[in-house]
Chain A
Amino acid sequence: MKENGMSLIVKRITRITVSLIFMFGVYILLHGHLTPGGGFAGGVIIALSFIHLVLAFGKETAFKRMDQVGASIAESFGGLMFLGIALLGVFAGKEFFLNVLPKGTPFDLFSSGIIILCNIAIFIKVGAGLFAIFVALAIMRIPVDDPGQEDGR
C-alpha cells in the first residue's frame, strides 16, 4: 500500500489526540442532561475525531474503521432509534414523546428517563450523518482531478 496522508509528526500526534477527542465527545454526550452539551454537540465532536483520522492518515486507513456505507447505516439506525424512543409513550398507552421511564434522582448519571436515550440516538445520527457529508463533499473527487483516489467508498 502506498504511503498517503500527512507527515510522520502529524500521524504520531494524531494517534494520541484522536482517542482524547473521542472520549471528550462521549463525555459531552453522557452528561448532556446534567451539564451543557448533549447529543448534537457530542455527535459533531465524534464526527470531527473521524475527520481527524481521515485527514491525517488518508482515507484507506480511516475507512477501515468507518466508511460511507457504514455511516449511512448508522445514521438510519440513529433516526429509527429516536423515533422508537418517541413511540415508547404510545406503546405505554399515553402520548407520543411522553417521558415514560423512571426519572431517577437528579444529578445522577442515569437519571431523567428517556432524555439520555434520546441523546444517544441523536449522537449516533448526527455523528454518522456529518461524517458522511464530510466524506462526500471534501474527500470524493470527480475522477478527472485525481485518478488514483476514487476507489474508496
Chain B
Amino acid sequence: MIEVHVILVLMIIGAIAAIEIEEMLSSVIAMGAVGIGLSLQFLLLRAPDLAITQLVVEILSLIILIKATVGAKMPKEKFRARIGYLIFALLFAAAFLFFSEQALRELPGFGSPLMKMGSEYLTEGLKKTGATNMVSAIILDFRGYDTLGEATVLFTSVIGVLAVLRIVRKRA
C-alpha cells in the first residue's frame, strides 16, 4: 500500500502547485498531474474500468482547458484577503476532519465487504447476463436506469453548451 500513499502525497503537491502558480497554463498542467495520479490510484486499487475512464476524460478536459487558457494570467489577490481565506479554509478543514473521522469509524475495513448485494452480483452475474466484465454487467444490465440517467445528463449538457454558443454565432 506504500505506493498509494506516495502517489497521494504527489497529488497533494500537484494540487497546491495548481493553486499557487501564477501562469494559467502551468496551473492547468499541474492539475493534469493530479488527474493522472488519480488514474494510477484507481489502477493500484484494482479498478481498471475507472482508471481508463478517468485517464481519457482527464486528457479531454486538459485539451479543452489548455485551448481555453493559453496565455492567460491569474489576477493577483490582496494579502489581507488571502489571510481571511486561509483562516476560513483552516476552520473548514478542521470541521471536515472531525466529522469525517466520526463517520469513517462506522465503515467496514478496506477490502472486507459486508454487503449481500455485491456478493450476489459476483456469484450470479455471469449466469444472468453472460458478460464477463462485471462492471459492464452492472452498469448496463442490473443498473440500466442509472446509465440512462447519466446519458440524459450528458445529453442535457451538450444541448446547453450548443444552445449558449449558438447565440454568440447569430449575433456575429
Report which A residues bind B (CB closer than 8 A).
Answer: 28, 32-38, 40-41, 44-45, 47-48, 51, 55, 68, 72, 75, 79, 82-83, 86, 96-97, 99, 103-107, 111-115, 118-119, 122, 125-126, 129-130, 132-134, 136-140, 142-143, 150
Question: Please, which residues of chain B bring their CB within 8 A of the CB of A75?
Answer: 155, 158
Question: Please, which residues of chain B bring their CB within 8 A of the CB of A137?
Answer: 64, 67-68, 161, 165
Interface of B is mostly: helix
B97 interfacial contact with A, CB 8 Å: no
| Complex A-B, nearest 9 residue pairs according to Cβ-Cβ distance, in ascending order | A103-B130, A97-B144, A138-B67, A36-B48, A112-B131, A33-B131, A112-B130, A44-B56, A129-B158
Q: Closest approach, in angstroms, between the C-beta of A78 and any C-beta of chain B?
A: 8
The 8 Å CB contact of B136, one of A38, A136, A139, A150, is: A38
Residue of B nearest to A35 (CB): B133
Question: Please, which residues of chain B bring their CB within 8 A of the CB of A47?
Answer: 60
A86 to B52, CA, bound (A): 26
Contact A99 B141 (CB under 8 A): yes
B114 interfacial contact with A, CB 8 Å: no
A71 to B56, CA, bound (A): 19
The 8 Å CB contact of A119, one of B64, B136, B154, is: B136
The 8 Å CB contact of B129, one of A51, A55, A107, A113, is: A113
Q: List 7 A-B contacts (CB under 8 A).
A: A33-B132, A36-B49, A79-B151, A82-B148, A106-B126, A115-B136, A136-B161
Question: Please, which residues of chain A bring their CB within 8 A of the CB of B86?
Answer: none
Q: Closest approach, in angstroms, between the C-beta of B132 and any C-beta of chain A?
A: 5
The 8 Å CB contact of B49, one of A38, A83, A104, A139, is: A38
Q: Closest approach, in angstroms, between the C-beta of B53 and any C-beta of chain A?
A: 5
Contact B151 A138 (CB under 8 A): no
> A32-B133, A48-B59, A143-B172 in contact; A119/B140 too (CB < 8 A)?
yes
Contact B60 A48 (CB under 8 A): yes
Contact B172 A133 (CB under 8 A): no
Q: Closest approach, in angstroms, between the C-beta of A15 and any C-beta of chain B?
A: 19
> A111-B131, A112-B130 in contact; A28/B52 too (CB < 8 A)?
yes
- For the complex with contacts A107-B132, A111-B130, 11 further pairs of A-B residues with Cβ separation under 8 Å are A33-B132, A38-B133, A40-B53, A51-B60, A55-B63, A112-B136, A118-B140, A130-B60, A134-B64, A138-B63, A140-B169
The 8 Å CB contact of B63, one of A28, A51, A99, is: A51
Question: Please, which residues of chain B bring their CB within 8 A of the CB of A133?
Answer: 64, 157-158, 161
Contact A37 B162 (CB under 8 A): no
Instruction: Pick the most buried of B129, B131, B155: most chain A CB atoms within 10 A of its CB.
Output: B131
A112 to B141, CA, bound (A): 10
Contact B154 A126 (CB under 8 A): yes
Contact B130 A140 (CB under 8 A): no
